[in-house]
Amino acid sequence: MGNLHRRQFIKGTSAALALSAIRANAMDIFSAASPRRVALIGTGWYGKSDLFRLIQVAPVEVVGLCDVDKHQLDKAAEMVSQRQQSHKKPALYGDYRKLLAEQKPEIVLIGTPDHWHALTAIEAIKSGAHVYVQKPISVDVIEGEAMVAAARKYNRVVQVGTQRKSTPHLIEAKKNIVDAGLLGKISHVEMCCYYHMRNNGNPPVQAVPDFFDYEMWTGPAPMRPYDGLPHVRWWRTFMEYGNGIMGDMCIHMFDTVRWMLGLGWPKSIVSTGGIYVDKTGKSNIADTQSAIFEYDGLNCVWQHRSWGTPADPEYPWSFKLYGEKGTLCGSTMQYDFIPEGKGDKIHKDVVYEKEKYPEDLTEPDIELNAAPATRLHMLNFLEAIDKGGRPVADIEQGHISTASCILANLSMQLGGRPLKYDPSKRIVVGDAEATKLLQRAYRGPWVHPDPVTV
């Protein structure tokens, strides 16, 4: 083992031990506290996953669940009763407003589809709750501005589910590689996703089942003809409800890069792409897209394809920081530091906690690699609530990352012209057409939130 490699190995081991100590100390503190009243809005796959990670690290009483699918809601209630200490079944709701008014939870987790994030989060904040909202935080830029404004006005903690900032091996990479200066000056970043994740097909229009409130599910989004339950991946394939692979996957990697390098709003964003390969079916999200997020002396370049093979099979969804002294490759599964010239490479794998949390192994559809990160993310969220600070994935940072991805989509929609967003004026500089696209039209009776009057 070379001196450099040995030194970094020791640093990495120390970082892992320190991380374990932080987790243990935080859990001891929270374990001594009285149970927190928690509610979940959106009880699908990831909503339940977030809730179960919270249950694992702090005493909570889940007082309410909300979903427009009664079958999904009943299943979630049964699972929660088995997982929470009291074994009680939470009160069940089909309307989040009624849940907030009747249960008055201290903490609200939001696991709805993207088009519902803004309204549910803002209403929860106004009700007095602290909020954990999944990414992307919004489907348009002005929604995000309103969410930030609400969090600040009502002094609530809002943590965004960009949990790469709480991923143990990436925390270590930031500390021991980036912050330690092993990369030198970083002048180029590449980010990508090559997963074949774009759902498609031509299911027939059909009657809405009696257990599913499609009107409420659609909410402020455009009303599409019902063609089957939209859960899991079907809704993600439509721009009506989200922002495509750019808004789903780029946000994670771009947010991670901004955190690692201390970057704020990009100076300019440009993107091109479209549906180049899979033109069959109903899907209207891009299967191929490139984007450049420009900073002074640095471009962060994104590429996704939902077809073909990845550029680097070891890093199909990842970021790569290129410095004068070396390169750092990072993903949810690992990181690799490759030095320029002589020197030892450094590799680190994802941390699992299967022995400590054996229930992870029997939980349906769990992302085992993400569970430790989400647990740390929840502990950070609770610490911010108790100490009155900002969490590691504060709503403002989530907004910058989300809005930047939305602006990339708008650039692609407008023929690939560069867009420069001014967050103080909430306009695209010198581009009235793009500025109009910062806020989507809402379907009535839902009213778009206003950052000025929220």
Pick the CATH number of 165-198+223-356+396-436 from 3.30.360.10, 3.50.50.60, 3.90.1150.10, 3.40.190.100: 3.30.360.10
What's the CA gap between 28 and 20, in Å, rounded? 12
pLDDT(351) > 90:
yes
What's the CA gap between 5 and 179, in Å, rounded? 17
The phi and psi torsions of 272 (rounded to 5 degrees) equal: -135, 160
pLDDT(21) > 60:
no
User: Is residue 106 a contact partner of residue 37, using CB atoms and an 8 Å limit?
Assistant: yes
**Percent of residues in the chain assigned helix, strand, coil, to nearest 5:** 40, 20, 40
Q: Can you give the pLDDT at residue 345?
A: 97
Which of 409, 441, 344, 444 minimizes the C-alpha distance to 142?
441
CA distances from 266 to 299, 403, 439 (A): 9, 10, 20
What's the CA gap between 409 and 270, in Å, rounded? 9
Which of 376, 402, 380 minimizes the C-alpha distance to 391?
380
* Domain parsing of the chain, residue ranges: 3-163, 165-198+223-356+396-436
Average pLDDT over residues 280-303: 98
* Each residue's pLDDT tens digit, 385-414: 999 999 999 999 999 999 999 999 999 999
User: Is residue 345 a contact partner of residue 339, using CB atoms and an 8 Å limit?
Assistant: yes
Q: Report the predicted TM-score, pTM, of the whole model to 2 decimal places.
A: 0.94
What's the CA gap between 401 and 403, in Å, rounded? 6
Of the pLDDT bands very low, low, confident and very high (cuts 50, 70, 90), residue 232 is: confident
Residue 93 structure tokens: 């709701």
Average pLDDT over residues 49-68: 98
Q: For the chain, give me the number of helices (H) and strands (E)?
A: 13, 16
The phi and psi torsions of 311 (rounded to 5 degrees) equal: -60, -40
Of the pLDDT bands very low, low, confident and very high (cuts 50, 70, 90), residue 34 is: confident
User: Is residue 100 a contact partner of residue 108, using CB atoms and an 8 Å limit?
Assistant: yes
What's the CA gap between 275 and 288, in Å, rounded? 6
Does the domain made of 3-163 have the CATH classification 3.60.40.10?
no
Mean pLDDT of the chain: 94
